[in-house]
Structure 1
């Protein structure tokens, strides 16, 4: 009978323990997110706040806010939906402001990608939401820093359809699914290693 492989077994055991630990960590984050969602639901009816100078603040999501757009430095478009659920393009302006620097402002929804919004600056009121983020999912999974915010305008310029209102379902709470995945990974790793050990026995 062959000797028990000490080093491979130790490596696999450490990996399994780490995956189980990540699973419990995700369960703890689920509880944190549920508490945060209660606060965010209340934010819809709270008084307006100034757009944060740093441009971030998870606890400010869905709060009413306003900016003074001195000029538009860029226009971007991303897929989205109108308040009625019709597919379209989110028209997002990069606005230079006197106090908050460059602020992303979702002006409204366009039915045509090439629609040019009739907006060159001025006061904008609306509510705070997350700005588009292109970072990989795995980075977002471990990132605890506040996300960047943008202002969702409540009065679209001519040619655009009104933006949807605050939607709690847009705030992901997938931590239970992540926890289950980590536990499954740990279980599968253990089973595969035990099968490998069984096959190497004479």
Structure 2
């Protein structure tokens, strides 16, 4: 009986651990969905004037409105859009009463290499963002070819001589038909907790089934030799 009891303990203990991991992932799923809902509510709120000293954590996704005039060069960040393909985000400095800041104007196709920068005053509505898009594998920007591979706010601010503040435009008073708005959303926030929960619960079921199999096999009478 001792080997069978050992198998029962191992079977129940392993299943309990796997079930607990599944329950934890369900709890994480509820937490992540609440976080995403809060972010979506903030994104959709009415815009306010740009704060004097926005905080990258507290003011992330904050909707703002700012007026000014585009100035200087435009940086191109290589990206891809579903159903469209490769293209660039256009990042331009905006001279405003709140200082010189970065504006993510939107998306252009990769073949659109000669997009003019508006010279008349504009009003931009959008959301503050400090995207975490760089890691040790991110290539250095090709400054000669004006191709960037991530939105590195401090580095772009240094290149264009702005404050380290990026506003991702959702609406601009002077529409440029060649530039499609690429506003902030939550689609890129990872939320795989449901898949993880299903995996842990499935492993628990398999563990129980295998434990029962080994117990029954252990208890089965052996053929006489």
TM range (shorter): 0.5 to 0.7
TM, length-normalised to structure 1: 0.54
What is the aligned counterpart of 2:167 among 140, 143, 151? Answer: 151
Residues 195 and 27 (structure 1), Cα distance of their counterparts in 2 relative to 1, 3 Å cut: same
Q: In 1, distance between residues paired with 2:75 and 2:214?
A: 57
Is contact 2:90-2:105 (8 Å) kept? Answer: yes
Residues 169 and 158 (structure 1), Cα distance of their counterparts in 2 relative to 1, 3 Å cut: closer
Structure 1 partner of 2:87 = 89
Greater gyration radius: 2
Q: In 1, distance between residues paired with 2:181 and 2:210?
A: 50
Gaps of 5+ in 1: 96-102, 136-147
What is the aligned counterpart of 1:176 among 159, 172, 194? Answer: 194
Q: Identify the range of structure 1 (149-158 vs 23-32) with the bigger mean alpha-carbon deviation.
A: 149-158
Structure 1 partner of 2:207 = 189
How well do the aligned residues superpose, as a CA RMSD in angstroms? Answer: 5.1
- Name the SS for the 1:3 alignment partner: helix
Structure 1 partner of 2:97 = none
Gaps of 5+ in 2: 94-100, 136-152, 154-164
Structure 1 partner of 2:47 = 47
Structure 1 partner of 2:108 = 110
1:77 shift after superposition: 0.8
Say how many residue pairs are matched: 180
Deviation per CA, 1:16-54: give whole Å up to 9, x if none: 433322322222233333433443343212333647755
Structure 2 partner of 1:79 = 80
Q: In 1, distance between residues paired with 2:109 and 2:197?
A: 39
TM, length-normalised to structure 2: 0.50
Matched, 1:131 2:142: no
Residues 161 and 184 (structure 1), Cα distance of their counterparts in 2 relative to 1, 3 Å cut: same
Residues 86 and 78 (structure 1), Cα distance of their counterparts in 2 relative to 1, 3 Å cut: closer
1:179 shift after superposition: 2.2
Is contact 1:91-1:106 (8 Å) kept? Answer: yes
